[in-house]
Amino acid sequence: MLWKTTDYTAWGRVHTARGDVARPERARTLATIMEEAPAPAFGFRRSYGDTPLNDGGRAIDMTRMDKVLAFDPDTGVVEVEAGLRLGELLRLFAPRGWMPRVMPGTGFATVGGAIANDVHGKNHHVDGSFGEHVLSVTLFSGGKRVTVSPARLKTLFRATVGGIGQTGVILSAKLQLKPCPGTAMRVTERRLDDWDDQIDALEASSAPYAVSWIDAQARGARMGRGILEEADLSEARLPSRERPKSVPLTMGLFSNGLFARTFNEGYLRRVPEAGRTGDKPMEDFFFPLDKIHGVTKLYGKAGFHQFQCVVPPEATDALRDMMGRIARSGLASPLVVLKRMGAGRAGMLSFPMAGYTLAVDFPNRARATRLIATLEEMVAEAGGRLYLAKDSLAGGDMIKGMYPEWTDWAAEAAKADPEGALITDMVRRLELRSVA
């Protein structure tokens, strides 16, 4: 049976959906679905909010369409189906001297999802967003199979990259990989004392990969303290890590302030005061949370929200104020990340902009949702934007105001999907396809 009634959720487990889901394995089957009953697609649902959900409607699970279609070992150009995981792409090609140019914080993101959200990584300030290294995308759009690229049907390409699946269902893509000398990263870790140290260190860093972890429980003079990781490619060939551990029970530890404070203190002190440098397997550096299956259980049954924003370089004072509010609230989990971003973005609704991005996980509680609403207003006032792949709470007017090409995108989505068959719960919530 092609369609099966399924209950499913996204990564944050706050929003849920129930509906008929198909899991095609071949392009021919996907083509038939899109001709007879077009529906939005999802991968491993690593988006945090309601982006991949279609409650009450149909959806297409692309995770069985995960084949490598072609590879040129001389140029590093690879063509893959949309359901291939980025972690698998790294595992297959790093030993052969090639790796994805941009990787988010999880290897479970699919190529189709990475394109639809124009994801970024720890090297955005150097290599830009994922979509900037996509050579072409083949998708079912407007009732037919089309291939788009930065040179061919470029308006549809820019509406597709970062376009949260509203211009069609991605079948496959050609990607430009990056040469790598080994399967490891040379990583330098050092402690930073406060928020000013964090901003100064990220601004001064010349490393191609850089990310800061922040102790969001620290207040006063210690507010913003944490660990900066700077990394570059290593010639070492380290084996993949051992099998991931699993969280057996839904226990809510990350929603407990005392646990978060204790965890953060220990995590900070695992790095010596003088810092340290060593080689890590690529997976350990790029996908640290993939080592724990079921990590979202640590937030409890109610799930969690992630707040992720980016603000321009001149708005670091506003970001500092946000961090101060977060610290005083005591609500943040141990997972708080600060990165520097460049200007690189490939699509009309792509999140990145030059400046700094802050990502914070909060338990799904009333106090946290009120705090997030305040933080969202501060982002808007600072001229920043929120990340659609992480959002689960924002209002439509706010999001539309943060993306100046929104109306152009909505017009292109309407041409590609005039009947609205690809509309998802997030698009309905934010009214992204509604243009006055």
Give pLDDT tens digits for 82-132.
999 999 999 999 999 999 999 999 999 999 999 999 999 999 999 999 999
pLDDT value at residue 258: 85
pLDDT value at residue 249: 67
* pLDDT at 241 > cutoff 70: no
pLDDT tier, 242 (very low <50, low <70, confident <90, very high otherwise) = low
**How many residues does the structure list for the chain?**
436
Name the β-bridge partners of 359: 308, 337
Q: What is the pTM of this model?
A: 0.96
* pLDDT at 307 > cutoff 70: yes
- ∠ CA 88-150-349, nearest 5°, is 75
Q: Looking at 212-333, list the stretches that DSSP marks H as alpha helix, in order from N- to C-terminal side.
A: 257-269, 282-286, 316-329
Which structure tokens are listed for 101?
Answer: 């140019």
pLDDT value at residue 94: 97
- Given CA atoms 22, 25, 29, 33 in this order, what sign does their dihedral have? positive
- Given CA atoms 401, 407, 412, 413 in this order, what sign does their dihedral have? positive
What is the mean pLDDT of the segment spanning 15-29?
A: 97
Query: What is the percentage of the chain residues whose pLDDT exceeds 70?
Result: 98
Per-residue model confidence as pLDDT tens digits over 251-280: 778 888 888 899 999 999 999 999 999 999
On the CB side of 373, how many CA atoms lie within 13 Å of its CA? 9
Q: In this structure, are residues 286 and 240 in contact, taking their beta carbons and an 8 Å threshold?
A: no
Which structure tokens are listed for 389?
Answer: 């792949």
* pLDDT at 246 > cutoff 90: no
> Which letter does DSSP use for residue 296 in this model?
G
Distance from C-alpha of 153 to C-alpha of 157, rounded to nearest angstrom: 6
pLDDT value at residue 354: 98
pLDDT value at residue 436: 58
Distance from C-alpha of 119 to C-alpha of 2, rounded to nearest angstrom: 30
Question: From residue 160, how far is each of 5, 51, 167 by CA, in Å?
Answer: 28, 15, 6
What is the mean pLDDT of the segment spanning 29-58?
A: 96
pLDDT value at residue 183: 97
Residue found by looking up tokens 């969690």 in the block: 304
- CB atoms closer than 10 angstroms to residue 333: 24
* pLDDT at 240 > cutoff 90: no
Which structure tokens are listed for 264?
Answer: 């953060």
Distance from C-alpha of 163 to C-alpha of 167, rounded to nearest angstrom: 7
Per-residue model confidence as pLDDT tens digits over 130-173: 999 999 999 999 989 999 999 999 999 999 999 999 999 999 99
Higher pLDDT, 293 or 302: 302
DSSP 3-state assignment of 435?
coil
pLDDT value at residue 300: 87
Q: In this structure, are residues 402 and 385 in contact, taking their beta carbons and an 8 Å threshold?
A: yes
H or E segment to which residue 281 belongs = strand 276-281
Distance from C-alpha of 260 to C-alpha of 362, rounded to nearest angstrom: 11
